[in-house]
Amino acid sequence: MGRGRRSQHTRPAVPTRRCLCCRAVRPQTELLRITAVEGAAVLDTGRKLGGRGAWLCRAEKCAKDASKGAKVSRALKGQAKEPQLERLLGWVKEVQGAIVATGPSLDGREHEG
């Protein structure tokens, strides 16, 4: 008795990553992934791009702080130039919009009006 810890309930559903800016550890789903492609930092929405990735909170504050300190570039080990703040903010908005866009809309009805 007391042995046999076979429960899988303790396994975390989502792996966690550390924000390159504020160093907070969050589930991947709450961060956006940035990766270096041919010297440029790009948003990796589907986590399909390989290579070194950096993770950033989906928050304007982290985007701004990261841009100020060129932290994205540093997190990517200089493999990409620091993206412009506008770009970072655009990515934050993009992923936030993506969450909203996946609302329940499977009934197939056309909207009236």
List residues binding Zn ion (CB under 5 A).
19, 21-22, 57, 62
Minimum CB distance to Zn ion, residue 113 (Å): 40
Cβ-based nearer residue to Zn ion, 17 or 35: 17
**Full DSSP string of the chain:** --------TTS-SS-EEE-TTT--EEEGGGEEEEEEETTEEEE-TTS---S-EEEEESSHHHHHHHHHTTHHHHHTTTSSBPPPHHHHHHHHHHHHHHHHHTSS--S-PPPP-
Smallest separation (angstroms) from Zn ion to the CB of 109 = 40
- Residue 92: CB minimum distance to Zn ion, A: 11
Nearest approach, Cβ of 68 to Zn ion (angstroms)? 13
Of residues 62 and 72, the one with the C-beta less far from Zn ion: 62
Pairing outcome for strands 16-18 and 25-27: antiparallel
For Zn ion, give the closer residue by CB, 57 or 80.
Answer: 57
**Of 19 and 80, which CB lies nearer to Zn ion in the complex structure?**
19
